[in-house]
Chain A
Amino acid sequence: MSPDVQTSAGTTVIALEGELDDVRVRGVWEDVVGRARAAGTGSVVVDATKLSEVGGTGLLLLAEIRRTVVWAGGTIEMRGLTADQASLVERAVGHKPPEPREEDSHFVSDVGETALKALDELADTVRFIGAAATDLVHAIRHPRSLRWRDLLRVMGQSGIDSIPVTCMLSGIVGFIIAYQMMPALDRYGAADQTPTIMGFAIIRELGPLITAIILAGRSGSAFAAEIGTMKVTEEVNALTTMGLNPERFLVTPRVLAVAITTPLLSIFASFAGVLGGWLPMIARDMSLELYLQSVRNSIDQVDFLQGVFKAFVFAIVIGGIGCRSGLKTQVGPGAVGASTTRAVVAGIVAIIVLDGVLVGLFHALGI
């Protein structure tokens, strides 16, 4: 049944009858609230004396009528409600929420702000990695200050546990490169140069790079998650108030561990990559001895050390980024996940950019 609405002398009387259940409320909501809104700053009387039953949704309708009238500056009288119902409806008026603030955004300024934030972040990361490297030197000079148990644990996790996956991926990449390269080299009758190219590509570039990418995925993320959780559970605060430096306590053993294991892991990865590159050569009847001899002849100690040096630098950067992401963890349920993602993405981007920089640097130095 539709509500009876009458307006006279600036007063709108809304009379409701029968049962105000969910179905009825849905049917009359727009009409009744619209009439209340139309009353503007006038006075509204809601007559509920003939209502047989008011369900939860019915009370919400009465609250909406009251809110609409009061916020418009009008006056309202509710008749026929019990004291409890009247009190509940009265409370529902609450406070008018503030108008949503219009975002003062502009494409150009947004891009500028994002770029400035990214630069700040970059500068902060570089500072953090610099401080971590300084702490590393301090730890090497004062081995007693180091937490050896943490160091050995992380070395096991980031080094020994990573050997199978790193060697497998590097071997497959070596195989793919050699396999794809051979037809192209065949066109120039230079297929026998495959070991030379493999030596350069794997030992100078791909071995360290693949190792670093796996390091970012396994250890960088683990550092961020571990330290991030410690931040959330106030363990980092506990270290601070105990007078212990969280950076030195948490970061140094982790960065030192990966700085030791990653170059070694990179040597394993390079060897596996080179071996992977031999597999397509079996079809050309090239023996393993001859293949390895050709690889050996194509590179010298400097090439080998360049790869090891790159792996060392990548390790410090990934370890530093992982730990920093953990220490920057905010509060909230998704905070640790966000830190972990940031550590992996920033780590991978950083090592690829850094690899480009190192290639240019080595070229400029004539190495």
Chain B
Amino acid sequence: MLTTAASTETVIEAKDLSVGYGGRAVLTGINFTVASGEVFVIGGGSGCGKSTLMKAMITLLPPVAGTLRIAGHDLVTGGDEAVNHVRRSIGVMYQGGALFGGLTVLENVRLAMEEQGLFTWTEMNSLALSLLAMVDLDEHCNKMPSALSGGMQKRAAVARAMAMNPQIVFLDEPSAGLDPISSAGFDQMVVRLARSTGRTFVVVTHELPSIFTIADRMVVLGGAQKTQLAIGSPKELLESGPPDVRRFLARQPEDETSQGAAS
């Protein structure tokens, strides 16, 4: 687990938050805060609404009700201005990497900088190479994404997510599709990046080894009504969380007679 102390500055605040599609809430009663520098995990079983919550946090889905404040901007009441501010404060690694297939790894990392136009060509190359070095991919900078393995593509996507110096980095299911060794390596990289850069990482995952390795705190979603079941450090939740959450973290299948817990 990450041992550096997170600062007390709150960078994400969800209060009575409901998220969903087309104005219809599918996940309700979300209440948590994330402090700057924290590695925060959104966990829960398949179909519990983790990805929906993350989509709302990365501005791809308007929240239905409540408060969702990211980097000081409320996405519920702030309109397009808040959305634009939030997009400048976040970086996102998507589940499959979502690297642009027509660009090399270096060009992928450099893209947002090019569009912003703040740096010279040499500066951009230098920055992009440094970011790739941080994820151990500088040697592969001129390769096309299709020439990389799944794990390498995800690491390149992390470098791209960090290209615009975001306050918060979101990682969507980073372990999905990776072998256990690559997955463990990826977790170590996340911990290293969080420690060294002091950025906030929000990770959506249901991989228990990853959760126990990287998370300072986590929120567990689930239940028949799809809501927040508990919040705390994984260790605390495993020891003294609600039964559904303890079962989820202990990898115990649902009781055959009960329905819809932590899933």
| Chain A residues engaging chain B, CB cutoff 8 angstroms | 91, 150, 153, 230, 233-235, 237-238, 240-244, 249
Contact = CB atoms under 8 A, between A and B. Distances in A.
Given A234-B98, A238-B94, A243 B112 contact: yes
B90 interface: yes
Contacts of B102: 150, 153
B32 interface: no
A237 B51 CA distance: 13
B111 interface: yes
A241 B100 CA distance: 14
B115 A241 contact: no
A243 B111 CA distance: 11
A233 B97 CA distance: 8
Interface string B67-98: 00000000000000000100110111011101
Contacts of B160: 238
B96 A233 contact: yes
Contact of A242 (B95, B164, B256): B164
B35 to A, nearest CB: 22
B112 A234 contact: no
A238 B88 contact: no
Contacts, number: 48
A240 B60 contact: yes
B58 A241 contact: yes
B48 to A, nearest CB: 19
Query: A-B pairs with the 6 shortest C-beta distances?
Result: A234-B98, A238-B98, A234-B94, A243-B87, A241-B92, A242-B112
Contact of A237 (B60, B88, B99, B101): B60
28 contacts: A91-B256, A233-B96, A234-B95, A234-B96, A234-B98, A235-B98, A235-B99, A235-B101, A237-B60, A238-B92, A238-B98, A238-B100, A238-B160, A240-B59, A241-B58, A241-B59, A241-B60, A241-B91, A241-B92, A242-B87, A242-B111, A242-B164, A243-B84, A243-B87, A243-B88, A243-B164, A244-B111, A249-B115
Nearest to A229: B101
B115 A237 contact: no
B8 to A, nearest CB: 27
Query: Taking each of B88, B95, B96, B98, which has the highest tally of chain A beta carbons within 10 Å of its own beta carbon?
Result: B98
B179 to A, nearest CB: 21
A346 B15 CA distance: 46
Interface residues of B, number: 23
Nearest to A243: B87
Interface string B144-157: 00000000000000
Contacts of A237: 60, 92, 94, 98
B130 to A, nearest CB: 19
Interface string B100-120: 111000000001100100000
A158 to B, nearest CB: 16
B144 to A, nearest CB: 14
Contacts of B84: 243
A256 B70 CA distance: 37
B58 A235 contact: no
A244 B160 CA distance: 14
A123 B102 CA distance: 32
Contacts of A235: 98-101
Nearest to B163: A242
A238 B115 CA distance: 14
Contacts of A243: 84, 87-88, 112, 115, 164
Given A237-B92, A241-B90, A242-B112, 20 more contacts: A91-B256, A233-B96, A235-B100, A237-B60, A237-B94, A237-B98, A238-B94, A238-B98, A238-B160, A240-B59, A240-B60, A242-B87, A242-B115, A242-B164, A243-B84, A243-B112, A243-B115, A243-B164, A244-B111, A249-B115
Contacts of B58: 241
Contacts of A249: 115
Contacts of B164: 242-243
A243 to B, nearest CB: 4
A240 B58 CA distance: 10
Nearest to A232: B96
A244 B108 CA distance: 13
